[in-house]
Structure 1
Amino acid sequence: MTLFSPIALTLSLALSVTLVLIIISTPVAWWLAHGRWAGKEVVGALVTLPLVLPPTVLGFYLLLALGPNGPGGWIAGFWGARTLAFSFGGLMIGAGVASLPFMVQPLRNAFAAIEAEVLEAADTLGASARQRFFRVVLPLAAPGYLVGGIMAFAHTMGEFGVVLMIGGNIPGETKVLSIAIYDFVERLQWERAHLLAGGMVVFAFLVIFSMLMINRRATAPRDSALI
């Protein structure tokens, strides 16, 4: 097995999941930040659940949902398949659910930090809902999108338990980096395992460094104003 295949597959999965999560998380995070329904924290808890739920437990229930006897089997029947599990599409769903809180929470915090007066001023100036989002909300929430995107991408890159449960170990289709490292260790191919694991260590360091720099830039104007 070449090293390029799991790297390319993992990058493709992480990028696809991140883009989908940006679309899905935007309305969810906005509603959680500004919705007035008393039970919204129940939804917030469900969204955050993957953070504390063991990946094997989450993967087990996703496997049932994506399998032949679950909704995934019914959906897969439209193109003649029996299941969404053990496929790239299944990996996207599983990794998306596991990474959802990493995108929603930063966006929720960013949306909640936008003062109501700013939105009211945009309404007073005659801005439509679309203009208000793209010209006011989006620029102000840009750090949240950046943090959420990086965190969701990084978490998907390193996900193991969920992708193993619903994707297995199919070369070229579901064998992502974390599975490849595990496979190399089982085969005692230490050099290849070191190479991939070392690359993930460097990647993790860059992610953490990026988060620190983003937070530093986000708080710098506030600090300078206090001085």
Structure 2
Amino acid sequence: MTNPLIIALDFPDWETTDRFLVQFPTDESLFVKVGMELFYQEGPQLIKTLKARGYRIFLDLKLYDIPNTVQSAMTVIGQLGVDYTTIHAAGGQAMLKAGAAGLKKGAALGNVRPAKLLAITQLTSTSEAQMQTEQLVNVSLPESVAHYAQLAQNSDCDGVVCSAQEVPTIREHTNADFLCVTPGIRPATSQTNDQKRAVTPHEAAQAESSAIVVGRPITQATNPYQAYQAIKSEWESFK
């Protein structure tokens, strides 16, 4: 699974999550994202349960605190054996490097492979106007994202989370193996909801995203597995 389609498990608890997951064939190799709501409700045991089923896991907690606190938290996360996890690029180089160090330490303690550390650039729910007026960032949104991507690469991160709209610019400023994981994916027939910079799977593939994250178009579909297959087919046909 070089360029995975990751399903965002945006559910309130394990019971709801399990009802969703049992709709998929047991031999389907799923890559799933666990966010704040589900993880805070169920805790680390959830990760162990998902791993026991053979799922790959993106633990999306978006850490943002002083370097020492982030390093300690990442040491705990590192022991869980997840595949991806996140940290805010806005926290700065010292925090990013501390997070990366903690993640590697945790992986060694847990005797597991280190997770890929992805830095959050600008949320896909943020427009350029919002960024400039609310964050007082006086550059274009693509410039801000490219800056964060370079900072992340120079701070021991493996990639970033960004809109596919910024991927080509990031590719110009980072190494070839730098990951660009793209949320806010919406099929052409789907509503964008609160995503300001949503793109289709086809557009993400053309932009050379490394992976895509899809939530509501799959989790709220009448037939989730069918929706998953359709989006996966569109994504993979252009990779």
Shorter-normalised TM range: under 0.3
When normalised by structure 1's length, the TM-score is 0.23
When normalised by structure 2's length, the TM-score is 0.22
Query: Relative contact order, CA 8 A, sep 6+: which one is greater?
Result: 1
Larger radius of gyration: 1
